Chains A and B, each alone.
Chain A
Amino acid sequence: MFAKKKKPTPAISTASLPDIVFMLLFFFMVTTVMREVDLKVKLSPPEATEVQKLENKSLVDYVYIGPPMDQKKFGTEPRIQLNDDYATISDIRPFIEAKRATRDEQLIPKLTTSLKVDKETKMGIISDVKQELRKAQALKINYSSREGKEKK
């Protein structure tokens, strides 16, 4: 009988592979935001439906509050984190003032402080922080929260 001649399967051309990869690369390069700080506290933000987007990230300062990552070393009590380090209530005012000093004068009223707080935290520590922010005249705040679905 006629033995079928085996045709060698043609190699798939990979010439367009770099193009595809470059396209993905550019997408990620454009959308990327480098993480500015190493989180030292655990954060799981609460959910809310009435959330607004935080515009203009360069005008936002972050205050993190939550239980420490390293619970063996620092215990389980919620801690405040400013920049890269744990802080206490009294550090908040110098922190805000230092951040303010780096910005243009006319932008100061637009500065927002974003409170990124773990949902299990008690309000006591947050009230203290809010009092400090009031004293520092950082009145615009934002309670960071995830966008949740509206329950009907």
Chain B
Amino acid sequence: MGRNKRAIPEINASSMADIAFLLLIFFLVTTTMDTDWGIARLLPPPDENKQEDQVKIKERNVFVVLVNANNQLLVEGELLDISQLKEKAIDFISNPGNKENLPEKIHVSPSEAKQQISILKGGNTPAAAEEMAKWQNRLKTAEVVGDYWESKQVISLQNDRGTSYETYIKVQNELAAAYRNLREKMAMEKFNKKFDQLEKAQADAIKEVYAQRISEAEPKNVAGK
């Protein structure tokens, strides 16, 4: 008898496109392409023992930025536009002219750091240990970048409860830009490279030289209910 073999019918693929389109549209709609960007900051740990934390800092070492409820800036006692903040901060942090009213700077070179460490070795008070750790850090930095001046700068940022978030971010941004500018400049001078092309040790050393020290004042309870 011998049944004649039927050819297997071809599967109709014309609806494949429809199915794929459906899926495509679903993913198109649900997709959010946003990668998150933002300004990273570290909050200070909560202070349980307030007295201990009060370190006295000389006035010349502090760069005071006040922002009021009308989003105006008072920088080091003068009214300033936000566009000028970066220049002013750069000038303050680096203090190129060694001015009296700008922060103190200490010269660090590997030999000086070693000398300080040997002097500090004798002491065993907590203060000496702290100082020792600082100099060991400086030695590490100086071994990478060579001689440098360390500025004792601190930036103090204080805002009102009525300040808008937009202004606050702008100020934070300008201050961060000031540090970045200085780091970029130093990377160019010392290694003739852009900052993000440096090796990790070099980048860390430069970060150490221009350490971001932005301290935000404890919010004061003004007319708190």
Identify the A interface with B (CB < 8 A): 14, 17-18, 21-22, 24-25, 28-29, 31-35, 46-54, 57, 60, 112, 114-115, 117-124, 126-128, 130-131, 133-135, 137-147, 151
Q: Are B24 and A25 in contact (CB under 8 A)?
A: yes
Interface size class on chain B is 35 or more
User: With A and B bound together, what is the CA distance between A29 and B23 in angstroms?
Assistant: 9
Determine the chain A residues whose CB is within 8 A of the CB of B177 once the complex forms: 49-50
A-B contact count (CB 8 A): 148
**A139-B180 contact, Cβ under 8 Å, with A54-B38, A117-B165:** no
Contact B37 A31 (CB under 8 A): no
Interface residue? B134 (CB, 8 A):
no
Asked if B160 contacts A123 (CB within 8 A), the reply is yes
Interface membership of chain B positions 157-169, coded 1 if the CB is closer than 8 angstroms to chain A and 0 otherwise? 0011111111011
Collect the chain A residues with CB atoms within 8 Å of residue B40's CB.
Answer: 52, 112, 140-142
With a CB–CB cut-off of 8 A, which chain A residues contact B13?
Answer: 18
Interchain CA distance A118-B33 in the complex, whole Å: 20
Binding site for A on B (CB under 8 A): 13, 16-17, 20-21, 23-24, 27-28, 30-46, 83, 159-166, 168-170, 172-173, 176-177, 180, 219
Task: Report yes or no: A122 in contact with B27, Cβ–Cβ below 8 A.
Answer: no
Which of chain A's residues have a CB closer than 8 A to the CB of B159?
123, 127
Q: Is the CB of A35 within 8 A of B36?
A: no
Q: Which partner residue on chain B sits nearest A135 by CB separation?
A: B46
Q: How far is the CB of A24 from chain B (nearest CB, A)?
A: 6
Chain A residues in 8 Å Cβ range of B42: 139-141
Contact of A144 among B36, B172, B176, B219 (CB under 8 A): B36
- Inter-chain contacts of A52 with B (CB < 8 A): 37-40
Q: Is the CB of B32 within 8 A of A50?
A: no
13 A–B pairs (Cβ distance < 8 Å), ordered by A: A22-B20, A46-B170, A52-B38, A54-B37, A119-B165, A123-B159, A126-B165, A127-B219, A130-B43, A140-B43, A141-B43, A142-B38, A145-B173
Report Cα–Cα, A25/B31, bound state, in Å.
11
Query: Whole-angstrom distance from the CB of A31 to the nearest CB of chain B?
Result: 6
Output the least CB separation between B225 and chain A (Å).
12
Closest chain-A Cβ to B87's Cβ sits at a distance in Å of: 13
Question: B36's contact among A46, A57, A123, by CB below 8 Å, is which?
Answer: A57
Name A145's closest neighbour in chain B (CB-CB).
B38
Considering residues B43, B162, B176, which has the most beta carbons from chain A within 10 angstroms of its beta carbon? B43
A123 touches B163 (CB 8 A): yes
